Amino acid sequence: MAEIYQSTYQNGAWSQPLPSASSAQWVIAFGSKDIMDDPDIREQVRRAFPQAQITGCTTSGAIEGAKLFDSCICLTAATFASSRIEALSADFHDFGDSGALGAHLAEQLNAEGLVHIFVISDGHVVNGSDLIRAICKKLPDTIYMTGGLAGDGTEFKETKVWLNDQYNSGQVALICFYGANLRIGKGNFGGWKPFGPFRKVTRSNKNVLYELDNKPALEIYKTYLGEYANELPASALRFPIGLKHSTATELVVRTILSINEEDQSMVFAGNVPEGASCQIMHANYENLISGAGYATEKAISDIEGAPSQLAILVSCVGRRMVLGVRTEEELEEVKEMISEGCHMAGFYSYGEISSVICSDGRCGLLNQTMTVTLFEEAG
């Protein structure tokens, strides 16, 4: 890339003055809803980058370098030497179905010369699993997606996605990259460890799990939590489940959003298909932090160790809540491994998107996982 510019808006000012009519082609803005909602700040960004596709979303924490920010906007602008980007979006409220929304977006794609797609989706009303599955069905086999679902701190009330003059809840944006000199590295890793036997999902409806091995799901889940069962649903962040499909070589982590004592069901941040096997998972701080390193190793391997210029990290609000004051340690783990001079940006999300073999295809929705996307433009 020819140039990377970064600045953070916090406490009423930008850490670096915004440029005047920059020629950057891509702007990424991740921040807190209270700041992103201000139309004056968004207009400042539009004036500073008139030629750019301006993309971003509300978050549960924004990343610049190895630092985590709240009540802010972390902005990164990229100027490419020879590559180009296109962006398109659609609104869930126009479809009412996440799969139909994804299919519509996929039909609008220009696949000629396409290298990669970065997805930024609403994280409150959109079903990320259905969205990604529908898009993936239409993609050439060589094209992958990474990205994440917008956040809203720990409120879980409303999330918004920003694309140019659109800033709405329910919105999904696809940022499409084209160029023979552009290479993308992608990696993900959770750091959660399974325990107990595999259980079969015998009754579910999308992201609602009713039965495991023909028994009430919540009843079985509680037997493994011990004293933590009394702290549900909050304690569920410490004990996600890992799904494994017949064609998968790894577990896909699913976060528990809520429980229903009446029918003994559990609601997850992603689909839990019938027929899949699952295990309960747990982790300690060191496993989660080292997991960020493994995700980075995968991304670096993807581009055969070439020096990258930009790293976009999407991690989960659940990881942040578990790690607490140690959250920045997983960012530092990534920074130590990427190329010297590589700029880092990203956010804490309600769901992560990366390459994984699962029922959604070769890309899927993950939970409580660190994902790393590396951009390397030669020449």
Give the dihedral sign, CA 206/207/210/211.
positive
Tell me: do 217 and 83 sit in the same domain: no
Q: How far apart are CA 3 and CA 27, in angstroms?
A: 12
User: In DSSP terms, which residues pair with 349 in a beta bridge?
Assistant: 316
Domain span holding position 209: 193-282
pLDDT at 246: 66
Tell me: do 258 and 156 sit in the same domain: no
Does the pLDDT at position 257 exceed 80?
yes
Q: How far apart are CA 45 and CA 50, in angstroms?
A: 8
Q: How far apart are CA 357 and CA 367, in angstroms?
A: 15
Write out the E strands in 283-327: 310-316
- The one-letter amino acid at 262: E
CATH code, domain carrying 244: 2.40.30
pTM exceeds cut of 0.85 = yes
DSSP state of 227: G
pLDDT at 343: 98
> Do 4 and 78 form a contact (C-beta atoms < 8 A)?
yes
Q: How far apart are CA 347 and CA 58, in angstroms?
A: 9
Radius of gyration of the chain (CA): 20
Tell me: do 26 and 72 sit in the same domain: yes
Last residue of a domain, one of 282, 305, 332: 282
Tell me: do 95 and 208 sit in the same domain: no
pLDDT at 115: 97
Higher pLDDT, 357 or 186: 186
Give me 130's structure tokens. Answer: 């259905």
CB atoms < 10 A from the CB of 372, how many? 32
Tell me: do 25 and 145 sit in the same domain: yes
Confidence class of residue 283 from pLDDT cuts 50, 70 and 90? Answer: confident
For the chain, give the mean pLDDT: 94
Overall number of domains in the chain: 2
Determine the average pLDDT of the residues in 87-113. Answer: 96
Q: How far apart are CA 329 and CA 323, in angstroms?
A: 9
Give me 204's structure tokens. Answer: 């579910």
Last residue of a domain, one of 236, 263, 282: 282
Does the pLDDT at position 379 exceed 70?
no
Tell me: do 197 and 318 sit in the same domain: no
- The CA-atom distances, in angstroms, between 154 and each of 60, 63, 102, 317, 348 are 7, 17, 26, 8, 11
Determine the average pLDDT of the residues in 167-179. Answer: 98
Determine the average pLDDT of the residues in 5-26. Answer: 97
Does the pLDDT at position 359 exceed 60?
no
pLDDT at 81: 94
Tell me: do 172 and 210 sit in the same domain: no
Q: How far apart are CA 56 and CA 161, in angstroms?
A: 6
Tell me: do 150 and 36 sit in the same domain: yes
Tell me: do 8 and 99 sit in the same domain: yes
For the stretch 221-254, pLDDT in tens is 999 998 999 999 888 888 999 998 766 667 889 9
Determine the average pLDDT of the residues in 143-157. Answer: 94
Tell me: do 141 and 207 sit in the same domain: no
Does the pLDDT at position 360 exceed 70?
no
Last residue of a domain, one of 241, 264, 282: 282
For the stretch 288-329, pLDDT in tens is 999 999 999 999 999 999 999 999 999 999 999 999 999 999
pLDDT at 53: 98
Determine the average pLDDT of the residues in 335-360. Answer: 89
Tell me: do 65 and 162 sit in the same domain: yes
Tell me: do 223 and 247 sit in the same domain: yes
pLDDT at 361: 58
